[in-house]
A and B are shown apart, each in its own frame.
Chain A
Amino acid sequence: MSSKTSRRLLTGTALALSATLGLTACGGSQDPSEAAAEGGELTIWAWEPTLDAVVDAYEAEHPEVKIDLVNVGTGNDQYTALQNAISAGSGGPDLAQIEYFAMGQFELGESLAELNEFGADQLASQFATGPWEGMSTDGSVYGLPMDSGPMAMFYNQSLFEKHNIQVPKTWEEYAAAARKLHQADPKAYMVNDTGDAGFITSLIWQAGGKPFNTQGTEVGIDLADEGSKKVAQLWQPLLDDELVAPITSWSDQWYQGLGDGTIASLVTGAWMPANLESGVPDGSGDWRVAPMPQWEDGTMATAENGGSGLSIMENSEKAALAYDFLQFATVGEGADLRIEQGAFPATTKDLEDEKFLNRKFDYFGGQQINKVLSESSASVIEGWSYLPFQAYANSIFNDTVGKAYIGDTTLGDGLAGWQDALKGYATDQGFTAR
């Protein structure tokens, strides 16, 4: 062969090799387990305390992998940091914990990697409905659920017994119980609420309402639909007669109120036991869990409140490795580790596991609370979706609906005001508001 041809051959081979190398460097569709065997470094932004053990276990099994688990803030604080990193194009993590209501925001910004290429869409049956719908849109999967928050009623049984109150099964009974309790003891309230967007939207969800709809860039907002009206009509008399404690959730007074009998019940997500156990240790033995109050006696329909999953960022260069960890943490061994530490599962196999269901909780006087919570998870109404800018929507909730809590307007009008504000914001952001 002449030197010219051999040189061309060499160049050709070199080009072909570098092309192949370039393709694999893109991390396109590398097998996740191969990526794990190769090793590398991952950065995860999450505030979930149960992930520490998962990271340790994963690193033990895959010594070539080094994971940096960073807590850059809880909820909205992290979303701000994440948004900044995405806009700056650098400084972001490979994986991030995102709550279900905030998924829309990041999905729309195309900041999350689509996981269908790794076969994530085949995992649908392994997860409960609510969480799965929260992590996927139109068949595209953007993350895997970590925990879920099917709602139930947590109540202080010793307080109920003291004032001879029956555990309410319907919302009508709940309102009546609220009245009876407050009359018997003016310092005690059935529940606290100073304007919580997540709570009201979850109630609307349970009432069958579907106020938020997104089709591409068209956003439908209808906070006067059947479900929304039902909730407004239920909650308004409670506000008018001051049967709701004026204490903001998650504040110091809230923890105090739960402990000293000021707040007798909470209708919230299945993750509450962990908060009660660490934040209200004096209440141990007094609290019980009952199904969420129903609209009609004999039915069983619930909603989700809170819960989060892990997503892989679109600009991460280690998507395959990240997916291997993601699987480990959500459907593999990692999931079991988290559940042991008290996380409420989003996986159907764990929700139906005998040991899980039969577990007795000392805090709840030995009650097998997981049976109630699991039943709630299986009864979550399908088809709910949040707005692509739900985090923003929740932040302006109190500007409009919040006024109803101080008596300046009614819930119905407040919701209408919120709807108008959201439609205006949607149009400003370039959506078409319906």
Chain B
Amino acid sequence: MALTTLRPAAARSRGTLHTPGRPKRSLLLTIVTGIVLVYSLIPLIWLLINSTKSQGDLFSTFGLWFGSEFNFFENLARALSYDDGIFLRWLGNTLLYVAAGAGGATLLAVLGGYALAKFEFPGKKAVFAVVIGAVAVPGTALAVPTFWMFSSMSLTDTPWAIIIPSLISPFGLYLMWSFAKEAIPADLMEAARIDGASELRTFWQVCLPLLAPGTVTVLLFTMVATWNNYFLPLIMLRDPDWFPLTLGLNQWNSQAATAGGEAIFDLVLMGSLLTIIPLIIAFLFLQRYWQSGLSAGGVKE
């Protein structure tokens, strides 16, 4: 009997086998995601186009196309030098809060998640319940009590008032916990211990590299949250020298809303554009990490 070429039973008129690696093309899906894509990108395109306009053009020309003058570089120069370069100060403040706050939060989340996932200790279930409960509490509800607490410690109107609350990220902790559970095989840790490595060394040299995707995910998550944080600094800070970019841009925006005020909407838009660029760069460069980090913990190796 001659060997016949096997034709997979699933193939019909199209003649291609649909595997997980080559999913079936769906026109409907393409259209829907296309719409969502356009919806998400329009505000960014609007921002990009309108940051090139002068003050007058902003109110008199069509929103999604360029104005009569192209003022991008002029707006850029003015935004960076307005009010003795306060924008750069605000940028520095934001970087400080993100580096210290988000960086610190990620470190704490990794340490905590690792410990909770890989070690047994009494009260572990209680900790689990409290952390999950904390994720459910909205940040805005805690902002005012946090203010009272910091006020009694005379820490308001200082950078500590922003950094310390940013260090606590229950969601980051939970994310690292579930990631660490799946990413680190217990045998590996046993092997390290048998070889004589201390707990710290086991963590730093053996387990941490395995936790990289989860760590980057938590880092990006906390970075975005701290970079965009508006309500906390609004309550805690008085001195404009310590404002992050969110509060600073708001102050520029409301400048026009007063008797004799100077409208600088063109600088507000340029400032907004400059504010979102670092985040976009961070996300694009760390794409491969967070893409794998999100799905980790969902599939048993």
Interface residues of chain A, those whose CB is within 8 Å of chain B, are 47-49, 70-75, 81, 88, 91, 147, 149, 250, 252, 255-256, 259-260, 269, 271-272, 274-275, 278-282, 306-308, 342-344
Q: In the complex, what residues of B have CB within 8 A of residue A72's CB?
A: 238-240
With A72-B238, A256-B59 as known contacts, state yes or no: A278 contacts B263, CB within 8 Å.
yes
B interface bracket (residues with beta carbon within 8 Å of A) = 20 to 34
Q: In the complex, what residues of B have CB within 8 A of residue A255's CB?
A: 59, 256, 263, 265
With A271-B259, A274-B262, A278-B263 as known contacts, state yes or no: A71 contacts B56, CB within 8 Å.
no
CB atoms of A278 and B256 under 8 A apart: yes
CB atoms of A274 and B261 under 8 A apart: yes
The complex places the Cα of A255 from the Cα of B255 at a distance, in Å, of: 13
CB atoms of A48 and B60 under 8 A apart: no
Is B292 located at the chain interface by the 8 A CB criterion? no
CB atoms of A307 and B259 under 8 A apart: yes
CB atoms of A259 and B59 under 8 A apart: yes
Q: In the complex, what residues of A have CB within 8 A of residue B256's CB?
A: 250, 255, 275, 278-279
- Give min CB distance, B54 to chain A, whole Å: 8
Per the 8 Å Cβ criterion, residues 141-156 of B in contact with A are 151
Q: In the complex, what residues of A have CB within 8 A of residue B254's CB?
A: 73-74
The 7 closest A-B pairs by CB, nearest first: A279-B263, A271-B260, A281-B56, A250-B257, A256-B59, A282-B56, A306-B259
CB atoms of A275 and B261 under 8 A apart: yes
Q: In the complex, what residues of A have CB within 8 A of residue B259's CB?
A: 149, 269, 271-272, 275, 306-308
Is B178 located at the chain interface by the 8 A CB criterion? no
* A149 nearest CB neighbor, chain B only: B259
- Give min CB distance, A362 to chain B, whole Å: 15
* B156 nearest CB neighbor, chain A only: A91
Is B26 located at the chain interface by the 8 A CB criterion? no
Q: In the complex, what residues of A have CB within 8 A of residue B262's CB?
A: 49, 274, 278
Residue interface mask B47-78, A partner, CB < 8 A = 1? 00000001110011000000000000000000
* B255 nearest CB neighbor, chain A only: A74
The complex places the Cα of A81 from the Cα of B265 at a distance, in Å, of: 25
- Give min CB distance, B287 to chain A, whole Å: 36
CB atoms of A260 and B258 under 8 A apart: no
Residue interface mask B126-140, A partner, CB < 8 A = 1? 000000000000000
Is B251 located at the chain interface by the 8 A CB criterion? yes
Q: In the complex, what residues of A have CB within 8 A of residue B255's CB?
A: 49, 74
CB atoms of A342 and B55 under 8 A apart: no
With A74-B258, A91-B157 as known contacts, state yes or no: A282 contacts B263, CB within 8 Å.
no
Per the 8 Å Cβ criterion, residues 236-275 of B in contact with A are 238-240, 251, 254-265
Q: In the complex, what residues of B have CB within 8 A of residue A344's CB?
A: 260
CB atoms of B260 and A342 under 8 A apart: yes
With A255-B263, A274-B262 as known contacts, state yes or no: A74 contacts B257, CB within 8 Å.
yes
- Give min CB distance, A408 to chain B, whole Å: 27
Known: A70-B239, A91-B238. 4 other contacts (CB 8 A): A49-B262, A74-B258, A269-B259, A306-B259
* A342 nearest CB neighbor, chain B only: B260
Interface residues of chain B, those whose CB is within 8 Å of chain A, are 54-56, 59-60, 151, 157, 238-240, 251, 254-265
The complex places the Cα of A73 from the Cα of B240 at a distance, in Å, of: 9
Q: In the complex, what residues of A have CB within 8 A of residue B258's CB?
A: 47, 74-75, 250
Q: In the complex, what residues of B have CB within 8 A of residue A259's CB?
A: 56, 59-60
Residue from the set B55, B251, B260, B262 with the largest chain A CB neighbour count within 10 Å: B260
The complex places the Cα of A281 from the Cα of B254 at a distance, in Å, of: 18
The complex places the Cα of A147 from the Cα of B261 at a distance, in Å, of: 13
Q: In the complex, what residues of A have CB within 8 A of residue B263's CB?
A: 255, 275, 278-279
30 contacts between A and B (CB under 8 A): A49-B255, A49-B260, A49-B261, A70-B238, A70-B239, A71-B240, A72-B239, A73-B254, A74-B255, A75-B258, A81-B238, A88-B151, A147-B260, A250-B258, A255-B265, A256-B59, A259-B60, A260-B59, A269-B259, A274-B261, A274-B262, A275-B261, A275-B263, A278-B55, A280-B59, A282-B56, A282-B59, A282-B60, A307-B259, A344-B260
The complex places the Cα of A281 from the Cα of B58 at a distance, in Å, of: 11
- Give min CB distance, A9 to chain B, whole Å: 44
Q: In the complex, what residues of A have CB within 8 A of residue B239's CB?
A: 70, 72
Q: In the complex, what residues of B have CB within 8 A of residue A88's CB?
A: 151
- Give min CB distance, B154 to chain A, whole Å: 9
Q: In the complex, what residues of A have CB within 8 A of residue B257's CB?
A: 74, 250
- Give min CB distance, B269 to chain A, whole Å: 12
CB atoms of B151 and A48 under 8 A apart: no
* B57 nearest CB neighbor, chain A only: A282
Q: In the complex, what residues of B have CB within 8 A of residue A278's CB?
A: 55, 256, 261-264
The complex places the Cα of A73 from the Cα of B261 at a distance, in Å, of: 12
Q: In the complex, what residues of B have CB within 8 A of residue A91's CB?
A: 157, 238
- Give min CB distance, B79 to chain A, whole Å: 16
The complex places the Cα of A333 from the Cα of B223 at a distance, in Å, of: 49
The complex places the Cα of A74 from the Cα of B261 at a distance, in Å, of: 10
Q: In the complex, what residues of B have CB within 8 A of residue A280's CB?
A: 56, 59
* A308 nearest CB neighbor, chain B only: B259
- Pick the contact of B240 from A70, A74, A250, A274 — CB < 8 Å? A70
- Give min CB distance, B20 to chain A, whole Å: 50
Q: In the complex, what residues of A have CB within 8 A of residue B151's CB?
A: 88
The complex places the Cα of A88 from the Cα of B151 at a distance, in Å, of: 9
* A90 nearest CB neighbor, chain B only: B154
* A45 nearest CB neighbor, chain B only: B238
- Give min CB distance, A134 to chain B, whole Å: 14
Q: In the complex, what residues of B have CB within 8 A of residue A81's CB?
A: 238
Q: In the complex, what residues of B have CB within 8 A of residue A256's CB?
A: 59-60
Q: In the complex, what residues of B have CB within 8 A of residue A149's CB?
A: 259
* B239 nearest CB neighbor, chain A only: A70
- Pick the contact of B260 from A252, A275, A281 — CB < 8 Å? A275
- Give min CB distance, B206 to chain A, whole Å: 50
The complex places the Cα of A396 from the Cα of B178 at a distance, in Å, of: 50
Q: In the complex, what residues of B have CB within 8 A of residue A307's CB?
A: 259
Q: In the complex, what residues of A have CB within 8 A of residue B59's CB?
A: 252, 255-256, 259-260, 280, 282
* A276 nearest CB neighbor, chain B only: B263
- Give min CB distance, B235 to chain A, whole Å: 11
The complex places the Cα of A219 from the Cα of B151 at a distance, in Å, of: 35
